[in-house]
Protein backbone atom coordinates (compact mmCIF):
# COMPACT_ATOMS: atom_id res chain seq x y z
CA UNK A 1 0.00 0.00 0.00
CA UNK A 2 1.44 3.35 -1.03
CA UNK A 3 1.99 5.80 1.81
CA UNK A 4 0.10 8.91 0.81
CA UNK A 5 1.99 11.06 3.31
CA UNK A 6 5.18 10.09 1.49
CA UNK A 7 3.67 11.52 -1.70
CA UNK A 8 2.63 14.66 0.16
CA UNK A 9 6.06 15.20 1.71
CA UNK A 10 7.72 14.81 -1.66
CA UNK A 11 5.30 17.30 -3.19
CA UNK A 12 5.87 19.78 -0.38
CA UNK A 13 9.61 19.62 -1.07
CA UNK A 14 8.87 21.07 -4.51
CA UNK A 15 7.02 24.12 -3.20
CA UNK A 16 10.11 26.34 -3.43
CA UNK A 17 10.44 25.41 -7.09
CA UNK A 18 6.76 26.16 -7.67
CA UNK A 19 7.17 29.52 -6.01
CA UNK A 20 10.17 30.41 -8.17
CA UNK A 21 8.11 29.70 -11.28
CA UNK A 22 5.20 31.88 -10.18
CA UNK A 23 6.73 34.76 -8.21
CA UNK A 24 9.61 37.22 -8.21
CA UNK A 25 12.01 37.59 -5.28
CA UNK A 26 9.58 40.22 -3.94
CA UNK A 27 6.70 37.69 -4.09
CA UNK A 28 5.05 39.51 -6.99
CA UNK A 29 3.40 37.45 -9.70
CA UNK A 30 5.81 37.17 -12.63
CA UNK A 31 2.93 37.39 -15.10
CA UNK A 32 2.14 40.92 -16.24
CA UNK A 33 -0.30 40.24 -19.04
CA UNK A 34 -0.90 38.66 -22.43
CA UNK A 35 1.29 39.47 -25.41
CA UNK A 36 0.31 39.40 -29.08
CA UNK A 37 2.47 38.93 -32.17
CA UNK A 38 2.85 42.71 -32.45
CA UNK A 39 4.45 42.76 -28.96
CA UNK A 40 1.49 44.54 -27.40
CA UNK A 41 0.79 43.58 -23.78
CA UNK A 42 -2.73 43.44 -22.36
CA UNK A 43 -3.23 43.33 -18.60
CA UNK A 44 -4.90 40.39 -16.85
CA UNK A 45 -8.22 40.80 -15.08
CA UNK A 46 -8.75 39.91 -11.43
CA UNK A 47 -11.00 37.02 -12.49
CA UNK A 48 -10.02 34.10 -10.25
CA UNK A 49 -10.72 31.55 -13.00
CA UNK A 50 -8.30 33.30 -15.37
CA UNK A 51 -5.60 33.57 -12.70
CA UNK A 52 -6.09 29.94 -11.65
CA UNK A 53 -5.77 28.64 -15.22
CA UNK A 54 -2.59 30.62 -15.89
CA UNK A 55 -1.03 29.38 -12.63
CA UNK A 56 -1.94 25.80 -13.58
CA UNK A 57 -0.22 26.16 -16.97
CA UNK A 58 2.85 27.70 -15.36
CA UNK A 59 3.21 24.98 -12.73
CA UNK A 60 2.67 21.96 -14.96
CA UNK A 61 6.25 21.69 -16.33
CA UNK A 62 7.53 21.59 -12.73
CA UNK A 63 4.86 19.02 -11.88
CA UNK A 64 6.17 16.88 -14.74
CA UNK A 65 9.69 17.25 -13.36
CA UNK A 66 8.46 16.15 -9.92
CA UNK A 67 6.65 13.15 -11.42
CA UNK A 68 9.71 12.11 -13.40
CA UNK A 69 11.97 12.29 -10.34
CA UNK A 70 9.77 9.90 -8.37
CA UNK A 71 8.67 7.67 -11.26
CA UNK A 72 5.05 8.79 -11.19
CA UNK A 73 2.93 8.93 -14.30
CA UNK A 74 0.86 12.11 -14.37
CA UNK A 75 -2.30 12.53 -16.44
CA UNK A 76 -3.80 16.03 -16.73
CA UNK A 77 -7.53 16.38 -17.19
CA UNK A 78 -8.68 16.58 -20.79
CA UNK A 79 -11.84 18.57 -20.09
CA UNK A 80 -12.50 21.70 -18.05
CA UNK A 81 -15.34 20.21 -16.01
CA UNK A 82 -13.60 16.90 -15.25
CA UNK A 83 -12.14 15.82 -11.92
CA UNK A 84 -9.31 15.90 -10.95
CA UNK A 85 -6.94 18.40 -12.58
CA UNK A 86 -4.09 15.88 -12.31
CA UNK A 87 -3.98 12.14 -11.71
CA UNK A 88 -0.72 10.65 -10.45
CA UNK A 89 -0.14 6.94 -10.94
CA UNK A 90 2.53 5.33 -8.81
CA UNK A 91 4.85 2.46 -9.76
CA UNK A 92 2.48 0.00 -8.06
CA UNK A 93 -0.44 1.46 -10.04
CA UNK A 94 -2.09 3.44 -7.25
CA UNK A 95 -3.91 6.58 -8.32
CA UNK A 96 -3.71 9.89 -6.47
CA UNK A 97 -5.95 12.84 -7.35
CA UNK A 98 -4.58 16.38 -7.15
CA UNK A 99 -6.95 19.27 -7.80
CA UNK A 100 -5.49 22.76 -8.25
CA UNK A 101 -7.46 25.49 -6.49
CA UNK A 102 -6.72 29.16 -6.08
CA UNK A 103 -8.30 31.92 -4.04
CA UNK A 104 -7.46 35.33 -2.65
CA UNK A 105 -7.10 36.88 0.78
CA UNK A 106 -10.07 38.88 2.06
CA UNK A 107 -7.98 40.06 5.03
CA UNK A 108 -4.81 38.85 6.74
CA UNK A 109 -6.57 35.86 8.36
CA UNK A 110 -9.34 34.93 5.94
CA UNK A 111 -9.59 33.96 2.27
CA UNK A 112 -12.50 33.78 -0.15
CA UNK A 113 -12.42 29.98 0.00
CA UNK A 114 -12.21 27.03 -2.40
CA UNK A 115 -14.88 24.88 -3.98
CA UNK A 116 -13.71 21.30 -3.52
CA UNK A 117 -15.58 19.46 -6.23
CA UNK A 118 -19.05 18.01 -6.62
CA UNK A 119 -20.86 16.11 -3.86
CA UNK A 120 -23.19 14.52 -6.43
CA UNK A 121 -22.44 12.49 -9.59
CA UNK A 122 -19.13 10.65 -9.41
CA UNK A 123 -18.79 11.49 -5.69
CA UNK A 124 -21.88 9.43 -4.88
CA UNK A 125 -21.71 6.90 -7.68
CA UNK A 126 -18.10 5.92 -7.11
CA UNK A 127 -17.92 3.44 -9.96
CA UNK A 128 -18.96 6.09 -12.48
CA UNK A 129 -16.60 7.58 -15.08
CA UNK A 130 -18.82 10.57 -15.85
CA UNK A 131 -16.88 13.85 -15.46
CA UNK A 132 -13.97 12.05 -13.82
CA UNK A 133 -10.85 10.48 -15.33
CA UNK A 134 -11.08 7.26 -13.30
CA UNK A 135 -13.86 6.10 -10.93
CA UNK A 136 -13.65 7.93 -7.61
CA UNK A 137 -13.12 4.74 -5.62
CA UNK A 138 -9.98 3.89 -7.62
CA UNK A 139 -8.10 6.81 -6.08
CA UNK A 140 -6.18 6.08 -2.89
CA UNK A 141 -6.06 9.77 -1.93
CA UNK A 142 -7.61 13.08 -2.97
CA UNK A 143 -5.39 16.14 -2.51
CA UNK A 144 -5.94 19.84 -3.05
CA UNK A 145 -2.99 21.92 -4.24
CA UNK A 146 -4.04 25.34 -3.04
CA UNK A 147 -2.64 28.69 -4.14
CA UNK A 148 -3.63 31.73 -2.10
CA UNK A 149 -2.68 35.25 -3.16
CA UNK A 150 -3.37 38.89 -2.44
CA UNK A 151 -5.07 40.95 -5.09
CA UNK A 152 -3.20 44.09 -6.01
CA UNK A 153 -4.25 47.32 -4.34
CA UNK A 154 -3.28 49.30 -7.44
CA UNK A 155 -5.88 50.28 -9.98
CA UNK A 156 -5.69 47.94 -12.96
CA UNK A 157 -6.80 49.36 -16.30
CA UNK A 158 -7.92 46.24 -18.17
CA UNK A 159 -8.44 48.25 -21.36
CA UNK A 160 -4.98 49.77 -21.55
CA UNK A 161 -2.43 48.45 -24.03
CA UNK A 162 1.26 48.35 -23.15
CA UNK A 163 4.51 47.62 -24.98
CA UNK A 164 7.56 45.63 -23.93
CA UNK A 165 9.22 48.89 -22.89
CA UNK A 166 6.47 49.28 -20.27
CA UNK A 167 6.99 45.78 -18.81
CA UNK A 168 8.60 46.81 -15.52
CA UNK A 169 5.99 49.47 -14.88
CA UNK A 170 2.98 47.14 -15.26
CA UNK A 171 1.49 46.20 -11.89
CA UNK A 172 0.97 42.50 -11.22
CA UNK A 173 -2.65 41.71 -10.40
CA UNK A 174 -1.56 39.25 -7.67
CA UNK A 175 1.18 39.02 -5.05
CA UNK A 176 2.12 37.47 -1.70
CA UNK A 177 1.54 33.86 -2.77
CA UNK A 178 1.02 31.00 -0.31
CA UNK A 179 1.00 27.33 -1.37
CA UNK A 180 -0.63 24.44 0.50
CA UNK A 181 -1.28 20.75 -0.05
CA UNK A 182 -3.87 18.90 2.03
CA UNK A 183 -6.31 16.05 1.60
CA UNK A 184 -9.68 17.32 0.47
CA UNK A 185 -11.60 16.16 3.53
CA UNK A 186 -9.28 18.12 5.83
CA UNK A 187 -10.15 21.38 4.07
CA UNK A 188 -13.87 20.77 3.71
CA UNK A 189 -16.58 22.48 5.71
CA UNK A 190 -20.16 21.26 6.14
CA UNK A 191 -21.60 23.85 3.75
CA UNK A 192 -21.71 23.90 -0.05
CA UNK A 193 -19.52 26.33 -1.99
CA UNK A 194 -20.74 29.71 -3.20
CA UNK A 195 -24.26 30.14 -4.55
CA UNK A 196 -26.64 27.28 -5.16
CA UNK A 197 -23.90 24.97 -6.41
CA UNK A 198 -23.58 21.28 -5.65
CA UNK A 199 -19.94 21.70 -4.70
CA UNK A 200 -18.29 21.14 -1.35
CA UNK A 201 -17.16 24.33 0.37
CA UNK A 202 -13.88 24.84 2.21
CA UNK A 203 -12.88 26.49 5.44
CA UNK A 204 -11.80 30.10 4.97
CA UNK A 205 -9.29 30.79 7.70
CA UNK A 206 -5.82 30.68 6.19
CA UNK A 207 -4.36 28.89 9.23
CA UNK A 208 -6.97 26.12 8.95
CA UNK A 209 -6.29 25.74 5.23
CA UNK A 210 -2.52 25.50 5.58
CA UNK A 211 -2.70 23.09 8.51
CA UNK A 212 -5.70 21.08 7.21
CA UNK A 213 -7.85 21.76 10.26
CA UNK A 214 -11.38 21.77 8.85
CA UNK A 215 -14.26 20.26 10.87
CA UNK A 216 -13.80 16.82 9.28
CA UNK A 217 -10.06 16.65 9.91
CA UNK A 218 -10.47 15.16 13.41
CA UNK A 219 -13.55 13.09 12.51
CA UNK A 220 -11.93 11.31 9.58
CA UNK A 221 -12.56 10.71 5.91
CA UNK A 222 -15.37 8.18 6.53
CA UNK A 223 -17.47 10.82 8.30
CA UNK A 224 -16.69 13.30 5.51
CA UNK A 225 -17.78 10.80 2.84
CA UNK A 226 -20.93 9.83 4.72
CA UNK A 227 -21.93 13.45 5.33
CA UNK A 228 -21.49 14.67 1.77
CA UNK A 229 -22.77 11.54 0.03
CA UNK A 230 -26.06 12.01 1.88
CA UNK A 231 -26.25 15.81 1.88
CA UNK A 232 -29.27 17.41 0.16
CA UNK A 233 -29.75 21.01 -0.85
CA UNK A 234 -33.27 22.41 -0.62
CA UNK A 235 -33.74 21.97 -4.37
CA UNK A 236 -32.53 18.37 -4.25
CA UNK A 237 -34.92 17.61 -1.40
CA UNK A 238 -37.85 19.29 -3.20
CA UNK A 239 -37.17 17.17 -6.29
CA UNK A 240 -37.87 14.01 -4.27
CA UNK A 241 -40.67 15.63 -2.23
CA UNK A 242 -38.74 15.44 1.01
CA UNK A 243 -36.72 17.67 3.29
CA UNK A 244 -32.97 17.67 3.89
CA UNK A 245 -32.09 15.18 6.67
CA UNK A 246 -29.56 17.70 8.04
CA UNK A 247 -28.14 21.11 7.22
CA UNK A 248 -24.89 21.01 9.14
CA UNK A 249 -22.44 18.65 10.80
CA UNK A 250 -23.93 19.11 14.28
CA UNK A 251 -27.34 17.91 13.11
Residues annotated as catalytic (active site), given as ranges: 85, 99, 101
Report the distance separating Cα 68 and Cα 73, nearest Å.
Answer: 8
Phi, psi of 60 (to 5 degrees): -60, -40
- Please tell me the distance from the alpha carbon of residue 243 to that of residue 251, in angstroms, as a whole number: 14
In angstroms, the CA 13 to CA 192 distance is 32
- DSSP assignment of 52-93: HHHHHHHHHHHHHHHHHHTT-EEEE-SSTT-B-SEEEE-TT-
The Cα-based distances of 113 to 107, 160, 173, 208 in angstroms read 12, 30, 18, 11
> CA-CA distance, 34 to 43, in Å (whole number)?
6
Amino acid sequence: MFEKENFRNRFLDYFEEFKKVVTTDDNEWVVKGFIDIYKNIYTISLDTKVISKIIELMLFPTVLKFASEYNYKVLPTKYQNYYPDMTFITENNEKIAVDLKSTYYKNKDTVNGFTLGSFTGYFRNRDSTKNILFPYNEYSAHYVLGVVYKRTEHDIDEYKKYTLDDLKSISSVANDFTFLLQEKYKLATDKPGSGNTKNIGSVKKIDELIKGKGPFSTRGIDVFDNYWMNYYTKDMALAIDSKPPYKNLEE
